[in-house]
Amino acid sequence: MLSSMRADIFIDKTEGGSFQISVVRHGQSSGTARKYDAVGKAEAVLLAFGFKKALVDRQLQALSETPPSVLLRFPIADVADDVLRSLGFTAAAFQAA
C-alpha cells in the first residue's frame, strides 16, 4: 500500500537568488527544506508534489515580485512518501506521525 503525508508546502526566494521549498507535516510546526539554484528545478519539485502547472506558475510569478525570504504557501497536499523520499524531503518529524 502506498502511503502519503498530508503536508503544508511553502516556497521562498533566498537573498542569494536560490529557491527554498519547505515541507511540513500538516498540523506540525517544523519539517524539512531543500534549496534549488534554478526556478526550473523548484518548479519540477512542485509539479512532482502534484500541483497543477497553472498554480505553480502563478506562485512562482508572485514569488518573483516579492522580496527575499517571503514565504508563499501552497494548498495542503497529500504527497506520496516515495515522492518525498525521492526528492530528498526526509526528516524525523515525518516519521513520528
pLDDT of residue 91: 62
Q: How many domains does the chain have?
A: 1
Lowest mean pLDDT among 2-6, 9-13, 41-45: 2-6
DSSP-assigned states of every residue in 24-80 = EETT-S--EEEEESSHHHHHHHHHHTT--HHHHHHHHHHHHTS-TT--EEPPPEEEE
Read off the pLDDT of residues 47-88 as tens digits, 9 standing for 90 and up.
Answer: 999 999 999 999 999 999 999 989 999 999 999 989 999 999
Residue numbers of the domain that contains 81: 4-96
Read off the pLDDT of residues 19-37 as tens digits, 9 standing for 90 and up.
Answer: 999 999 888 888 899 999 9
